[in-house]
């Protein structure tokens, strides 16, 4: 049986790069995204790119707890054991706390924090009996520093890092690793149309390679927190 990984928000950007690096290293995947057409396109690509691994797809909006739990049930029905969970799903809404639209904080917390919290809790039973596994939470530079126009997005990412720190402490005695990944600006759909030199932002593959490097350590070592930035610094 191949090792197994769950990746949320996996059809584009960082999520897609993460899915590709784990598939290229022999992992079967369960992935979700909000758009069914994107999942179907990814499935079509997989049959050509990675014919020896299985890709299981599930349409879900993880800002809704009910759909998060449906995805978790799908994963549990697919595999008895989970080796890697990457909580990558998230959205960005910029603005000022004093001016942003009513409900922005709730929207960002539901997508960027609650989805990771509920999915992790639902899938830990696939890891705990085996005393092994690795959970990656895709945080952000915005998880530890405030910046102009960060607003409630930064609040949600600070909260995700807090969740990750707590989970790390709880999972220490159970053999399960927890890593917080905090990338700066990397090319993804959110940067589409921006006229910047390609080298000004990181590539999504750079982040994926860093995650894979963290996963490849021996059971005796864990990267607790990893910060990645463009070589020329934050935008």
Active site residues: 153
Report whether 41 contacts 119 (CB < 8 A). no
End-to-end CA separation in angstroms for the chain: 43
| Pick from 127, 206, 204, 116: nearest CA to 161 | 116
14, two tokens: 């960082």
| Pick from 150, 157, 216, 213: nearest CA to 182 | 157
C-alpha dihedral over 213, 62, 80, 82, to 10 degrees?
10
For 67, phi then psi, to 5°, come to: -75, -30
């Amino acid at each position: 049986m191949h090792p197994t990984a769950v990746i949320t928000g996996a059809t584009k950007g960082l999520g897609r790069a993460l899915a590709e690096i784990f598939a290229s290293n022999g992992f079967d995947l369960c992935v979700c995204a909000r758009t069914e057409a994107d999942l179907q396109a990814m499935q079509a690509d997989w049959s050509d790119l990675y014919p020896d691994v299985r890709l299981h797809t599930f349409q879900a909006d993880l800002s809704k707890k009910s759909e998060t739990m449906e995805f978790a049930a799908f994963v549990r029905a697919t595999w008895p054991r989970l080796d890697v969970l990457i909580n990558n799903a998230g959205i960005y809404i910029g603005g000022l706390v004093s001016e942003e639209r009513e409900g922005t904080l709730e929207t960002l917390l539901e997508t960027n924090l609650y989805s990771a919290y509920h999915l992790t809790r639902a899938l830990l039973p696939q890891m705990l009996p085996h005393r092994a596994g690795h959970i990656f939470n895709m945080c952000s530079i915005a998880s530890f520093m405030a910046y102009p126009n960060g607003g409630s997005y930064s609040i949600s990412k600070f909260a995700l890092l807090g969740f990750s720190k707590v989970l790390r402490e709880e999972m220490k005695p159970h053999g399960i690793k927890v890593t917080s990944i905090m990338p700066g600006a990397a090319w993804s759909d959110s940067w589409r149309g921006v006229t910047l030199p390609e080298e000004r932002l990181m590539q999504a593959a750079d982040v994926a390679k860093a995650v894979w490097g963290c996963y490849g350590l021996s059971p005796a070592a864990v990267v607790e927190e990893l910060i990645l930035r463009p070589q020329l610094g934050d935008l």
